Structure 1
Amino acid sequence: MVSSNDVQRLFLQAVISRRVLSYTLAHVIWWKCIDAVKAADSTLQIPKPREDDRAAWDSFTAKVNESLNPLDLEFRHLHDELSGREMYALVNRKGDEVAQLATGYTPAEIAYFKAIVEQIMLAPHESFSVSSLAALREVNFLKTNMSKTQAEVVLGSFVANGWLLKSKRGRYSLSTRSLLELLPYLKSTYPDEVIECTICLEILTRGVACPTRNCKVRLHDHCFNNYKRIHSTCPSCNETWTSSSKKLIPVGEGAVKEGQDFNRRVRKKQTEEGSEEEDDEEMEESQEPTQAQSQSQKTRGKKDSSADEGMDVDEDDVPKRSQRKSRR
């Protein structure tokens, strides 16, 4: 028997058939679902809201999410960082969100995607992106037989399926779909790296930052454009942003200069004592001496061999090989 609840059922079926949809498209689908239910039973009194009736839309989505709660699903929304459009997707709220990729990818491909996400989140200077070379390099650190040729194909599928974005510069960053579906995972796994827009309070991986030292203000480009129409100073430190000497600092790919590539970074792990330590596997990988270093070590004698290995360890970066220094 047809009822008003069929509107929600039809709507969810339409949403499931799509990956990510805009607010405008979602609203149109909602209208079409109302028309379809009314056509099946003309006696049903289902009001059709106006296009600008945001309260009615919010009430409808709240009912949809209420029906999805037992399934640990959510009809979640987020603004696209490039266009500023409000986007929606049906996402899983239970367990490790990265595991959602298992539907179409092998365990090795999921591990590869997770490794790329880590490099994007740990990218220095809030660049939140990795070069094609760095993305392919991640294959070397995985315990799989995936070749770089296969990795190129998998990377292409990540982009084609909307998990990653690839810019004209050949750099990979997280898409709106990834931010929507992996948001809880990103916040729990990278709490120190996740930043939020000062205006909309949503996650930010591309935008602008206040140039004042130690100021934490970060804005999406679309939020900044709306903000600067009324204000010309930073909402936190009150620094004037109209001065040419105080240019806003880019967040995202714009923070990386052409031809600049960073060392691979590794997320720190918490030990049982509560202190932080680097990934043991990555340390071993980084500590393998080059042929030149081995030759140099032989000429320095046994005393230098028993001394410090000369690892130039940055607090945040993966240990880098450097020239050994004598400790006489």
Structure 2
Amino acid sequence: MVSSNDVQRLFLQAVFSRSVLSYQHALVLWERCIDAVKAADPSLDIRFSDDRASWDRFVADINRSLDSLDLEFRHLSDERSGRETYSLVNRRDDEIAQLATDYTPVEIAYFKAIIEQIMLAPHESYSVSSFTALREVNSLKTNMSKTQAEVVLGSFVSKGWLLKSKRGRYSLSTRTLLEMLNYLKQTYPEECLECTICMEIVTRGVACTRPNCQTRLHFHCFTASRRINPKCPTCGQDWPAESKNLVAVGEGAVKDGQDEGRRVRRKSTAEASDEDEEEPDQMDEDEPSQPAATQSRPRRGKKAAEASMDEDEEDEAPRKSQANGKRRSGRAR
């Protein structure tokens, strides 16, 4: 028997066949689902309304229905366009949840290794070159060849998990940010920047040029904010008049080849207890593409005592790190 609950069922069936929906597309699907249910039973009192309050109530009802399945119909603004997008995401990140994907355990491990390189990339570039992405295969205990890795990378891009730029650099897509937001915040809390305006995660945008200012903005948030106030909303610094003088967050923050020699790896839980005994990270030889404003931000939480380690300890640090096979973030700050 047809009921008003069938609207949710039809809507979710439509969502399952799509990875990411825009807000406007989601509204169209909702309206068509209502029309389909009313066509089956005209006596049902179901009305479509495109006002925001009605939509938010509909989404809340959907999420209550999905709660027991650890699923969520989540929304996030696209970092490039600012367009509101939605996706059905899995809130769990355990082995059982990972089995419900199109990828093998090795391919999932490879994907997470690439994400780690992206999140720990230097100068807040949040991107890796094709060379670096392919070299991540060597960090996995698998016989996956680089030719196979190229095919898998192409699949990540075609299915919307990664973005690949004209420079051949990989970065996080809106789909990945939507579906893995909790994982990113839990695994890389220090690297997850928030836009000062919309408070959502930012991996591409602009940064304030003043030293130690924490302002980071999406491009669309920056454009809207500067129309109202030509100054940084946090410190009052004037924004550069020309866009070429803006400090980039994302791919524009790193030069070609600047991250080729870097190998970083987050410590495992078992290694975390040795944190206080670790030497400072090895720094890039290249000059950072961002000014001192972004280099001086205290993101690593390193102890001040580490800065005074003697010359012998500094020489020993790279050898010790290489011997242990550990990779840690060396983003210059």
Answer yes or no: same fold by TM over 0.5: yes
Aligned equivalent of 1:112: 110
Secondary structure of 2:245's counterpart equals: coil
Correspondent of 1:221 among 207, 219, 222: 219
Deviation at 1:241, TM superposition (A): 1.1
CA deviations 1:65-85 (Å, max 9, x no partner) are 011111110000001111111
Answering whether residue 308 of structure 2 is matched by residue 310 of structure 1, we say no
Q: 2:15 aligns to what SS in structure 1?
A: helix
Contact 1:98–1:185, Cα closer than 8 Å, also in 2: no
Residue pairs, 1:276-287, within 5 angstroms: 276=275
The change in CA–CA distance for 1:84 and 1:269 in structure 2 (over 3 A counts) is: same
Separation of aligned partners in 2, 1:6 and 1:26: 16
Alpha-carbon deviation of 1:261? Answer: 2.5
SS class of match (1:74): strand
Match in the other structure for 2:264: 265
Runs (5+) with no aligned partner, structure 2: 279-311, 322-327
What TM-score does the superposition give when structure 1 sets the normalisation length?
0.82
Q: CA deviation at 1:25?
A: 0.5
Aligned-residue CA RMSD in angstroms? 2.6
What per-residue deviation string (whole Å, max 9, x for no partner) do you get for residues 216-247 of structure 1?
Answer: 00000011111111111111111111456993
State the alpha-carbon separation in 2 of the partners of residues 245 and 227 from structure 1.
Answer: 15
Partner of 1:77: 75
Distance 2:233 2:96 in 1: 35
Look up the match of 1:151. 149
Structure 1 stretch displaced more, 162-171 or 266-275: 266-275
Q: Secondary structure at the match of 1:203?
A: coil
Q: Find the residue that maps to 2:131 and give its secondary structure.
A: helix
- 2:9 corresponding residue in structure 1: 9
Instruction: Give TM-score, length-normalised by structure 2.
Output: 0.81
Q: Does 1:92 align with 2:83?
A: no
1:171-186 → structure 2 map (5 Å cutoff): 171-186=169-184
Q: CA deviation at 1:190?
A: 0.5
- What is the letter of the counterpart of residue 147 of structure 2? T
Is 2:163 aligned against 1:165? yes
Seen in structure 2, the aligned counterparts of structure 1 residues 182 and 245 have a Cα distance that, compared at 3 Å, is: closer
2:23 equivalent in structure 1: 23
Please say if residues 130 and 171 of structure 1, whose CA atoms lie closer than 8 Å, have aligned partners that are also in contact: yes
Percent of residue pairs identical: 67
Residue 127 (structure 2) aligns with: 129
SS of structure 2 residue aligned to 1:228 = helix
Contact 2:122 2:259 in 1 (8 A): no
Q: Which amino acid aligns with 2:38?
A: K
Which of the pair has more CA radius of gyration? 1
Q: CA deviation at 1:259?
A: 3.5
Which residues of structure 1 form unaligned runs of 5+?
A: 280-306, 319-328
